[in-house]
Every structure is written in structure tokens, then in C-alpha cells.
């Protein structure tokens, strides 16, 4: 399981060094973790740090609401960063073209004046409405939130690593079979098989060769979905005998007494057996609606049904915006999610401040907002 990182809106999305204990492309620098015992009080809890969750954080500030963001992943950006960081996006208003990574950077920059805490490596699990109408939300990693409203910006659900489809792998998880690399030192002087052909697989294979006795990258074909510079570096490392590459797939694990001994690789025309201490499987991420499916919300086709006048779900006080929202003619577009978040937060305001009437002010006339943006104030609304 991942550990918690606590960061704030405004951090850059530049990758960390491969020796970082988090993923090789983690953008954030973890600061002091929030105490898991004391509830964190906020007006709105935003579940998901994808583009829509980040824009919702900005919009919460504009509307005058405090917020906190949680995400299962160790880095912000949702699908934009996980699935297509370097692809250009052409349909964001007033930005003719930017890569998905640039969009996330710009959203972070836009949020920065509100200094919103982002809790990474935290999967929201349970929700309970109290008698006073507020919600207690817990994460699987022990955080507790006390919030007036919940903004689900959870995309297609929490991203989880795609696991090896071999039953014998399950009891070896964390000890010998890994779906992320937490600490390179754990692999010092070991034989490590890295399975996968994307950026993470190549980055980690390259990083592991610096500490491991032997590194073998296994991928089903001699072509990769990683950036060209990583592929070139990997091929150079193979030529220099610093690591090996095999075309094939993981067929079986031999693990007498629950200790990985060897791995069978299926190849065209036969199988190969490699003695190994560890297997690192980096097949990418799959989305799973997970615990949110048990929150008593009306779910249609794996998405949360909402009222399009305010994007509120069947449970008043819980909103769904972005890809997770379901309504007639819903388009899974970033633009749609921005609009949904904006309307949802205006309704959320009535839960956070039932005794106040929010006066609508265009941002162009909002002196407080202008001041905050100009000074980069860390004030939380
Ligand atoms: C290849 C590709 C190209 C695309 N191109 C475009 C384009 O050009 N223009 C466009 O408008 N759209 C495009 N899209 C779609 C766009 O990326 C999505 O509409 C957008 O990412 C949705 O944003 P979101 O914030 O709702 O969800 P996501 O980006 O999916 O983020 C959701 C976040 O919520 C987190 N989460 C989920 N469940 C939990 C939980 N229980 N606890 C904590 N965290 C949780 C996830 O880890 C994730 O980080 C593209 C999509 C793909 C795959």
C-alpha cells in the first residue's frame, strides 16, 4: 500500500529522481504527513486530483469555500498525467494547444493562491452523515475528514495497478512480487525481473540496474510505449551488459515456502526459466470505482447519477463532477467537468454556510480574489 504524501496546490509536476521512494515520475515533494487521528475539518472534500478536481479547488476558493483534496495516487493530474501527459489537448477554451502535463501545471498554478492541501496516496473509503448534516469521510490509510459537502471528481474510479493474472502471485505481494518500487535499496544485490513496456517499467529497470545484481526487463514485444529517450537508454544499457531484455510474458512463478525462486517466461516457440529474487510488475493502471460504489448513491453504468441543475447525487451534499458524473448526453471532456464543478460548488456553499446568502460577483470584479492572486496569498477561504 502507498504511504501518504501531503502537498499543496502549486507544486510542480516535474519528475523526481529515480531514487525517490515514490514512483519514478512522482511530481510532489512529500511534506509532514497529517496526523491520522485528528479529523480534518473543511467546507468541501474533493475526491480526485485530476483536472476537474484541481479546477474545483480553484473554484471553491473563488466561491469562498475551504477545501481539501485527496487522491489515491502519489501524484496529481488524474488521466492527464497517468495516460497521456505528452499528448496535445486542443479543446480547452482560450488555450489553442497544450500538453496534458502543461494543463495540469496551469491548473496547479491557478489554484496556488488558495494553498489547498492535497493528500496523496489516500483512497477514500467510507462516508457517514452525522446528525448535524456534516459528513465524516475516512481513507484507507487512516485520514478522517469532517466536511460540509463532498465533491466526487474521481474520474473512472481510483487507479490501481494492473495485477498479474497468476494466483501464485497474490501471497508473494510486497515480499517478492511488487507493483511499485518504494525503495531501491530493498533490491540491492538481488536478481530482479521487471515486467512491462511503458515508462514506469523502463524507468525502474534502468534505476534498478544501479543497485541490483541482475535486472531482466520482460515485455511481450520488442517495441515500447515509453518515451524514446528511455527506450534508447535501455537499449544502450543492454548493449553494455548492464541489464538484459527478453521478449515474452510471465507464465508462472515457482515459490517454495512462499519465497520466490524462479520465473517461467513464455516466449515464441517455448519457455525460459530465470532464477529471481523479486518480480516488479509494471503493467500500468486500471480504474476501479471501488468503495464509492457502496456509498448508497444511485449509480448508472458505473457512474454517479446527478441532477444537472447542480450536479448533486442522489444523496444531498454529495456531488459528482467530471468523468464520474452520469446524466443524459454526458460528454467525458475536461471542459464539461469544469462547468459541472462550478455549478456544484455554488450548491455546496449552501451546506457549508446555510445561514449566509452568497452574493454572485464576477471574478473580474472580485477585489478579494484579485488581491489573493496578486499576492499569491496563502489564505484559505
Ligand atoms: C488518451 C486520452 C486523451 C484525452 N484527450 C482529451 C482531450 O483532448 N480533451 C478533453 O477534454 N478530454 C480528453 N480526455 C478525457 C479527459 O482526460 C477526462 O475527461 C478527464 O481526465 C476527467 O477528469 P477528472 O478529473 O474527472 O478524472 P480523472 O482525470 O480520471 O481523475 C480522477 C482522479 O480521482 C482519483 N480517485 C478516484 N477514486 C478515488 C478514491 N476513492 N479516493 C481517492 N482518489 C480517487 C484517481 O486516482 C484520479 O487521479 C482524454 C482521455 C484520454 C484517456
- Annotation: binding site for FAD: 71, 79, 84, 124, 159, 323, 364
Question: Ligand 1 pocket test: which of 55, 76, 78 has the largest number of ligand atoms within 8 Å of its C-beta?
Answer: 78
Mean pLDDT of 233-242: 98
Q: What is the spatial distance between Cα 28 and Cα 69, in angstroms, rounded to a whole number?
A: 14
d(CA 341, CA 311): 8
Query: Which pLDDT tens digit goes with each residue over 92-123?
Result: 999 999 999 999 999 999 999 999 999 999 99
- Quote the CA–CA distance of 38 and 142 in Å, as a whole number: 10
To 10 degrees, the CA torsion angle through 78, 80, 82, 84?
160
Distance 82 CA to ligand 1 centre (A): 9
Plot region of 169 (φ>0 → left; ψ -120 to 50 → alpha; else → beta): alpha
Instruction: Determine what percent of the chain is predicted with pLDDT higher than 70.
Output: 89
Ligand 1 centre to CA of 155 (Å) is 5
Mean pLDDT across the stretch 132-151? 97
pLDDT in tens, 3-54: 345 566 543 333 333 333 233 323 233 333 445 568 999 999 999 999 999 9
pLDDT tens, position by position, 278-318: 999 999 888 888 899 999 999 998 999 999 999 999 999 99
* Span of 11-20, 134-143, 229-238 with lowest mean pLDDT: 11-20
Task: Give the pLDDT of residue 9.
Answer: 55
The CA 281 to ligand 1 mean position distance, Å, reads 23
User: All domains of the chain, ordered by start, with CATH?
Assistant: 5-159+286-379 (3.50.50.60), 163-283 (3.50.50.60)
Reply yes or no on whether the pLDDT at 359 is more than 70: yes
Write down the pLDDT at residue 20: 32
Q: Which residue blocks in the chain are alpha helix, DSSP H?
A: 51-63, 78-83, 100-111, 199-208, 228-239, 334-352, 367-375
Q: Looking at ligand 1, which atom is closest to the CA of residue 323?
A: 26
- Mean pLDDT (the chain) is 89
User: In the structure, which protein residues have their CB atom closer than 6 angstroms to any atom of ligand 1?
Assistant: 47-53, 70-73, 78-80, 83-84, 89, 91, 123-124, 153-159, 290-292, 322-323, 332-335, 337
173: β partners? 177
Q: How confident is the model at residue 252 (pLDDT cuts 50, 70, 90)?
A: very high
pLDDT tens-digit map of 307-326? 999 999 999 999 999 999 99
Sign, CA dihedral 31-34-40-45, equals positive
pLDDT at 90: 97
Q: What is the mean pLDDT of residues 253-281?
A: 96
pLDDT class of 238 with cuts at 50, 70, 90? very high
Q: For residue 282, what pLDDT is reported?
A: 96
* Range of lowest pLDDT (6-10, 50-54, 163-167, 205-209): 6-10
228 — pLDDT class (breaks 50, 70, 90):
very high
CA 99 to ligand 1 center in whole angstroms? 14
Residue nearest to atom 6 of ligand 1 (CA): 89
Atom of ligand 1 nearest to the CA of 290: 41
Return the ∠ at Cα 71 (arms to 69 and 76), rounded to 5°. 90
Pick from 26, 120, 154, 322 the residue to mutate for probing ligand 1's pocket: most ligand atoms within 8 Å of its CB.
154
Quick one: which atom of ligand 1 is closest to the CA of 54? Answer: 25
Of 71 and 361, the one with more pLDDT: 71
Tell me the mean pLDDT in the region 346-352.
97
> Which pLDDT does position 264 carry in this prediction?
98
Per the model's pLDDT, the better-predicted residue between 23 and 264 turns out to be 264
Amino acid at each position: 500500500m502507498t504511504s501518504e504524501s501531503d502537498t499543496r496546490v502549486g507544486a510542480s509536476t516535474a519528475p523526481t529522481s529515480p531514487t525517490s521512494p515514490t514512483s519514478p515520475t512522482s511530481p510532489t515533494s512529500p511534506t509532514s504527513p497529517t496526523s491520522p487521528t485528528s479529523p480534518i475539518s473543511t467546507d468541501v472534500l474533493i475526491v480526485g486530483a485530476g483536472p476537474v478536481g484541481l479546477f474545483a479547488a480553484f473554484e471553491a476558493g473563488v466561491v469562498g469555500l475551504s477545501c481539501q483534496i485527496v487522491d489515491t495516487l502519489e501524484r496529481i493530474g488524474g488521466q492527464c498525467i497517468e495516460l497521456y501527459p505528452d499528448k496535445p489537448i486542443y479543446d480547452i477554451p482560450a488555450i489553442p494547444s497544450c500538453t496534458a502535463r502543461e494543463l495540469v501545471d496551469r491548473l496547479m498554478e491557478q489554484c496556488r493562491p488558495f494553498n489547498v492541501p492535497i493528500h496523496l496516496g489516500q483512497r477514500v473509503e467510507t462516508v457517514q452523515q452525522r446528525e448535524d448534516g456534516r459528513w465524516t469521510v475516512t481513507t484507507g490509510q487512516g485520514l478522517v475528514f469532517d466536511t460540509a459537502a463532498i465533491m466526487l471528481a474521481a474520474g473512472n474510479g481510483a487507479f490501481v495497478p494492473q495485477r498479474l493474472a497468476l494466483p501464485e502471485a497474490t501471497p508473494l505481494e510486497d515480499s517478492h512480487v511488487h507493483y511499485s518500487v518504494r525503495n531501491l535499496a530493498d533490491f540491492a544485490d538481488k536478481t530482479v525481473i521487471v515486467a512491462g513496456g511503458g515508462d514506469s517499467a523502463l524507468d525502474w529497470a534502468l534505476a534498478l540496474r544501479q543497485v541490483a545484481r541482475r535486472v531482466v526487463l520482460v515485455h511481450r514485444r520488442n517495441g515500447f510505449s515509453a518515451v524514446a529517450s528511455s527506450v534508447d537508454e535501455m537499449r544502450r544499457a543492454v548493449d553494455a551488459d548492464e541489464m538484459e531484455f527478453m521478449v515474452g510474458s510471465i507464465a508462472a512463478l515457482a515459490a517454495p515456502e512462499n519465497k520466490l525462486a524462479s520465473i517461467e517466461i513464455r516466449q515464441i516457440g517455448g519457455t525460459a526459466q530465470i532464477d529471481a529474487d523479486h518480480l516488479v510488475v509494471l503493467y500500468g493502471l486500471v480504474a476501479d470505482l471501488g468503495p464509492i460504489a457502496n456509498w448508497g448513491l444511485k449509480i448508472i453504468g458505473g457512474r454517479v447519477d446527478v441532477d444537472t441543475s447542480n450536479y448533486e447525487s442522489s444523496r444531498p451534499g454529495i456531488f459528482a463532477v467530471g468523468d464520474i458524473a452520469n446524466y443524459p448526453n454526458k460528454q467525458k471532456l475536461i471542459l464539461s467537468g469544469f462547468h459541472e464543478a462550478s455549478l456544484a460548488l455554488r450548491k455546496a456553499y449552501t451546506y457549508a454556510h446555510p445561514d449566509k446568502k452568497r452574493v454572485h460577483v464576477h471574478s473580474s470584479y472580485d477585489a478579494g480574489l484579485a488581491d489573493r492572486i496578486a499576492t499569491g496569498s496563502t489564505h484559505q477561504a
